[in-house]
Amino acid sequence: MINKNVFQFDLDKIAVTLSLVCAAQCLLLPISALVLPVIATLPIADEWFHSMLLFFVVPVSAFAMFLGCRKHKSYNIFIYGFIGLLTLIVSATWGHDLFGETGEMISTLAGTSILSYGHIQNQKLCKDCH
């Protein structure tokens, strides 16, 4: 039987890692595109990369938040998860059109930061439940 506490903690770690991958891609791609033009031709430069990340980030984050909140009963953590995920979805879907390239980058980083903060708080609250 899987230890639910360890499983919950691992899901939060995965969700934070996925958010950080998104942030790193968002920050490093423009810089690396200036230095190494070949990198701009890699698939991570395409919009589908954001979509693929969201395909994993949304369910893992939602599931981790759900399990954590069910355990520690602090449902205000959902607010961070919801705002962070919503910001990431808007940024990935309409960010370039709404905010321009720089605005998309800033909104993606904001969403990643909010979501990561929520997962870190979720981990802390779960750890305190022991």
Q: What is the mean pLDDT of residues 112-118?
A: 92
Which one-letter DSSP state was computed for residue 76? T
Residue 48: how many other CB atoms lie within 10 Å: 11
Pick from 90, 87, 94, 67: which is nearest to 11 by CA?
67
Residue 33's pLDDT is what?
62
Residue 42's pLDDT is what?
63
CA 111 to chain centre: 7
pTM value? 0.70
pLDDT tens readout for residues 30-59: 776 666 666 556 666 567 777 788 888 899
Q: What is the mean pLDDT of residues 93-106?
A: 87
Is the pLDDT at 84 greater than 90? The verdict is yes
Cβ neighbours of residue 124 closer than 8 Å, sequence gap 6 or more:
none
% of the chain at pLDDT higher than 90: 20
Spatial distance between the Cα atoms of 8 and 62, rounded to a whole number of angstroms: 11
Classify the C-alpha dihedral 58-76-109-8 as positive or negative.
negative
Residue 21's pLDDT is what?
81
87: confidence class by pLDDT, cuts 50, 70, 90: very high
